[in-house]
């Protein structure tokens, strides 16, 4: 199976300015991501950026950079431009890897691409893992997903879903034993045909309330296949503290 790995890498970041080029063990963060993407078995790796310095750094490390517009509202819109620029066929699988995930598992990237390849009725595939604590279940910053018996997403929410009625009747936030509570992992594989359509889809009502872009696809009738993995992903980088943590992990033998 051939798939294209695309890393959207915009220059602007409100929480950690310049993070795409932040040094981690002697290499820019976005280059770490590109190396993980290449290790996944992707047929090609492209960094889609609106910044000449990011493009220069990527190319200096032997990776392909594609200049895209600087007015895209989301990373998915940037991927749509990549599909148009490259003239990809509708069935071509494109995996979106966030540029701030320097420790992303190459195996997980490949698994999500394969999940989409194995389910031709799905427009998108993504990943999830079992929640381990009530704190995770009730944390609105950890997005939850519920799936049907075929592994298709039924809904994504910041709320604790599914709701364990009896276990939560007393009002205490607990994780009921055996509850199929899954945390969504923000890694996506798309069919290029869907990506080209995405910019024309109107924002969904549920998407606005939850502030979850994947709900737009579901509200417009597109199916999302969910690959289940046993473990939580390695930490991404949103803040200086996150960056310090990743630097520490990279500096530890056997990590990174």
Asked if the model's pLDDT at residue 92 lies above 70, the reply is yes
Residue 236 within any structural domain of the chain? yes
Range with the poorest average pLDDT among 11-25, 87-101, 210-224: 11-25
* In a domain? residue 223: yes
* Residue among 111, 81, 90, 99 nearest 45 (CA): 99
Average pLDDT, the chain: 95
Q: Mean pLDDT, to the nearest integer, of 142-147?
A: 98
Predicted local confidence at residue 65, as pLDDT:
97
Q: Classify residue 256: in a domain, yes or no.
A: no
* pLDDT band at residue 166 under the 50/70/90 scheme: very high
Q: Is the pLDDT of residue 62 over 70?
A: yes
Assigned domain for 181 exists: yes
Does residue 132 form part of some domain? yes
In a domain, 75, yes or no: yes
CATH number for the domain spanning 92: value is 3.90.550.10
**What letters, b where the CB count within 10 A reaches 16 and e where it falls short, cover 201-239?**
eeebeebeebebbbbbbbebebebbbbebeeebbbbbee
Total domains present in the chain: 1
Domain-located, residue 174: yes
pLDDT at 253: 66
List, for residues 103-133, the tens digit of each pLDDT value. Answer: 999 999 999 999 999 999 999 999 999 999 9
Tell me, yes or no, whether 24 lies in a domain. Answer: yes
Query: Which pLDDT value is given to residue 180?
Result: 96
- Strand 124-130 and strand 64-67: the pairing is unpaired
Range of 58's domain? 3-251
Q: What confidence tier does 256 reach under pLDDT thresholds 50, 70, 90?
A: low
| Span 10-58, pLDDT tens digits | 887 667 888 999 999 999 999 999 999 999 999 999 999 999 999 999 9
**Residue 24 to residues 11, 92, 103, 232, 237, Cα–Cα distance (Å):** 17, 32, 11, 22, 11
Residue 133, both tokens: 């604590």
pTM of the shown model? 0.94
């Amino acid at each position: 199976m051939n798939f294209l790995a695309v890393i959207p890498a915009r220059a602007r970041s409100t929480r950690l300015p310049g993070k795409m080029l932040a040094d981690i063990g002697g290499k820019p963060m976005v280059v770490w991501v590109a190396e993980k993407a290449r290790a996944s078995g992707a047929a090609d790796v492209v960094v889609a950026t609106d910044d000449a310095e990011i493009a220069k750094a990527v190319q200096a490390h032997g990776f392909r950079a594609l200049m895209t517009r600087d007015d895209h509202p989301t990373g998915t819109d940037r991927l749509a431009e990549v599909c148009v620029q490259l003239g990809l066929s509708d069935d071509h699988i494109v995996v979106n890897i966030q540029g701030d995930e320097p420790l992303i598992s190459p195996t997980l990237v490949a698994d999500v691409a394969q999940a989409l390849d194995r389910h031709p009725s799905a427009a998108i595939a993504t990943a999830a893992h079992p929640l381990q604590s009530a704190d995770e279940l009730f944390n609105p910053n950890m997005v939850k997903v519920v799936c049907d018996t075929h592994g298709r997403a039924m809904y994504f929410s910041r709320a604790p879903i599914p709701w364990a009625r009896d276990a939560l009747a007393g009002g205490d936030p607990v994780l009921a034993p055996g509850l199929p509570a899954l945390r969504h992992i923000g890694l996506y594989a798309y069919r290029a045909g869907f990506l080209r359509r995405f910019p024309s889809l109107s924002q969904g009502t549920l998407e606005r309330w939850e502030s979850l872009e994947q709900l737009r696809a579901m509200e417009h009738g597109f199916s999302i296949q969910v690959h289940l993995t046993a473990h939580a992903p390695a930490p991404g980088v949103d803040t200086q503290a996150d960056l310090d943590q990743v630097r520490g992990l990279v500096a530890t033998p056997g990590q990174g």
